[in-house]
Chain A
Amino acid sequence: MAKLTMVQALNLALHQEMEKDDRVIVLGEDVGKDGGVFRVTDGLYEKFGDERSVDTPLAESGIVGMSIGMAIFGLLPVCEIQFSGFTYENFHQIESHAARMRWRSQGAFHVPMVLRTPYGGGVRALEHHSESREAYYAHTPGLKMVIPSGPRNARALLVSAIRDPDPVIFYEAKALYRAFREEVPETEETFPIGKSRVAREGKDLTIVAYGAMVRPALEAADILKENDRVEAEVIDLLTLSPLDDEPVIRSVKRTGRAMVIHEAPGSFGPGAEIVSRLVEKAFYYLEVPIARVTGYDIIIPLFSREHSYIPGVQRIVRTARNLVSK
């Protein structure tokens, strides 16, 4: 086992899947010779050539529309959109076609593609390079929406996404790309899409998070344990759609207290869905109202202020203390 960053872990998944299956094609802007602006596709061009590591013209709708055609043909395209803030250019191809081709053709054609794209703040970037709009995709029927939280599950989930028969939107938290390393086995590993996991067990409070928010949630749990003797359970969703709410419901039935964290704007965000599920399925177990710690309903500010926008450890700890003190 090697200790890998998330970038290296994703790269490992791509190398291994491309080696295994010549239907897997990587395409996007700068994914070839340059190895991707974040280097996730590094070395694929050297190993597999420009026919399987395809530099495309600069046109997001073109990249996704072409991927849809390749997928209908029977290939397994993994396209990269350089930043999620540019996926609006291709949104209609995803919404109008990728998500619907199976339905429209009554199962005759399907679109087994993966759209990889970095999302979220925390890397001191320009406008359009820091936002979190996972709700758009999680809201769209026919898609799967996956957001890993670390190197090991990122690798396993990407392998599963490539092999999945339906279109998968794969959000990669750019704040996590090189934030920490994890042991990632060289041998193949997958993780089922549509399954969440308990990242830390606890009996007093349930914190629901995903992607880049899992780490601050875990840190907050450490602080709560040390300073407050509060045991927080942290649920890492991993897949937003289809959402596996079972571990969340089970946990809240035990703890009676819940909070949801994401950096996307709060209103109509994934947190609203989690809260609804809890109200529907665990209402009588709730001791206190559910809290949301999310981005505000504004465009994420440029980086001098973004740390005040993105939920941080202290905000999570304060909200948790508030919940357990009631």
Chain B
Amino acid sequence: MPRKKIEIPDTVEHLSILDEAGQLDRELEPDISETLLLKLYRSMVLGRKFDERLLNLQRQGRIGTFAPITGQEASQLGTVAVMRESDWFVPSFRETAAELWRGRSMESVILLFGGYNEGGHVEDGRRNLPVAIPVGSQLLHAVGLGWAIRYRRSDDMVLTFFGDGATSEGDFHEALNFAGVYQAPVIFVCQNNQWAISVPRSKQTRSATIAQKAVAYGIPGIQVDGNDILSVYAAAREAERRARSGGGPTLIECVTYRLMMHTTADDPKRYRSEEDVNIWKQRDPLTRFQNYLIDKGLLTDSRIEAITADVLGDIQAAVDRAENRMKRLGDPMDMFDHAYATIPPHLNAQRDLLAADLAASAKEKNHG
């Protein structure tokens, strides 16, 4: 027979548990403890409020450019919630809520966006990689970490984030391919927020979904309502069990929306309409989850107010700490630190040149 059909999976699942109208599918509702539900809620509020504060600081010139996360809190927190501390976390650059969940301090975030290298420091023992700005490039590091976890016969796993734009990068395809070949315990979380700066999802790929790209690499893929933290959590749990039990990688596409600009240097009015944004504002992951918790009897108006006040207090304290610290940081002589394990002679010589230059500048200033 010259032509015959080869059977491959030709469907991917879409998962939605708590829809935008607040309808809950009780059959699919994941079993999450009250403590964890409330912790997730507080983290969502923190992610949202911290974003607002960072934007404020940026507009006042107190920090530099940053990438807001507003609207993507459920995608970020529903996934990292399944991680253990010993798992490896490999972010791109729009995952502040997930980073804070993983133990990064707000102070560190402010330092980095404030232009201080010290904000890149990762506390000893924490398995959280620093942000990776070149789009999609971090996915391969996740595969290497996953490979090493298997080599060491551990049941830890790796969780890595990227956006819809990253799925056009070669590294995305190489990472999924390698992870499939080596059955690396990696959860690939695509935050499909519909926009890669000004380029819409429809111009990024002809594929109907991003989840289906997993099929080509022989790994499971699933699309979830990324603004429904219950769906995100359920899919991540499934992927986590697979990863820990030797079942290999999973691609999760979280369908969400970037409610803010790409970064503070971007003006989205140039390329998308307010009406579009408003449609997605109706699907806000935070209000949806909040209503669910109210229905469950876990939240009341006064409780929400208390949590919000508490979060704002934490943010203010972090801003104060960061700004105080920034006053003490910034010695230019530190710029040669961490170039190599041991500073080589030619860099020592250049460091001496910088010291002499700074001394000369200071002298000129005093005599000027």
Interface of A with B (CB < 8 Å)?
25, 51, 56-57, 59, 61-62, 64-75, 77, 92-93, 96-97, 101-110, 141-142, 144, 165-166, 194, 242-244
Contact = CB atoms under 8 A, between A and B. Distances in A.
B237 to A, nearest CB: 24
Instruction: Decide if the interface of chain B is mainly helix, strand, loop or mixed.
Output: helix
14 contacts: A25-B151, A57-B178, A59-B174, A61-B170, A62-B177, A69-B143, A75-B151, A104-B120, A105-B122, A106-B120, A108-B124, A141-B339, A166-B340, A194-B345
A96 B88 CA distance: 20
A72 B129 contact: yes
A103 B339 contact: yes
Interface of B: 88, 90, 117-118, 120-124, 126, 129-130, 132, 134, 137-149, 151, 170-171, 174-175, 177-178, 181, 337-341, 344-347
Contacts of A243: 346
Contacts of A75: 148, 151
Contact of A108 (B90, B121, B134, B151): B121
A33 to B, nearest CB: 15
B144 A67 contact: yes
Given A73-B145, A242-B347, A93 B137 contact: yes
Given A66-B140, A72-B141, A72-B144, A110 B341 contact: yes
Contacts of B341: 102, 110, 165-166
Given A68-B140, A69-B140, A141-B339, 19 more contacts: A59-B174, A59-B177, A59-B178, A62-B140, A62-B174, A65-B141, A65-B171, A73-B88, A73-B148, A75-B151, A96-B134, A102-B340, A102-B341, A104-B130, A105-B120, A106-B122, A108-B124, A108-B126, A109-B130
Contacts of A72: 129, 141, 144-145
A24 to B, nearest CB: 12
Contacts of B146: 69
Contacts, number: 135
A103 B120 CA distance: 8
Contacts of B338: 102-103, 106-107
A145 to B, nearest CB: 12
Contacts of B90: 69
Contacts of B139: 65
Contacts of B130: 101, 104-105, 108-109
**Nearest 9 Cβ contacts at the A-B interface:** A69-B144, A65-B140, A62-B174, A242-B344, A73-B148, A106-B121, A108-B122, A69-B141, A165-B341
A97 B139 CA distance: 12
Contacts of A101: 130
B145 A57 contact: no
A231 B134 CA distance: 52
Contacts of A107: 121, 337-338
Given A62-B174, A103-B117, A108-B124, A142 B339 contact: yes
Nearest to A25: B151
Contact of B145 (A59, A70, A105, A141): A70
Contact of B143 (A65, A102, A144): A65
A104 to B, nearest CB: 5
Given A96-B137, A107-B338, A166-B340, A68 B144 contact: yes
A165 B140 CA distance: 21
A107 B124 CA distance: 10
A71 B144 contact: yes
A25 B174 CA distance: 20
Contacts of A65: 137, 139-141, 143-144, 171, 174-175
Given A25-B151, A62-B177, A109 B129 contact: yes
Contacts of B171: 61-62, 65, 93
A112 to B, nearest CB: 9
B351 to A, nearest CB: 13
Nearest to B158: A69
A61 B178 CA distance: 11
Nearest to B174: A62
A244 B345 CA distance: 8
B339 A56 contact: no
Nearest to B342: A165
Given A105-B130, A242-B344, A51 B339 contact: no
B89 to A, nearest CB: 12
Nearest to B145: A69
Contacts of A166: 340-341
B129 A106 contact: no
Contacts of A142: 339-340
A65 B132 CA distance: 12
Nearest to B119: A106
A269 B120 CA distance: 33
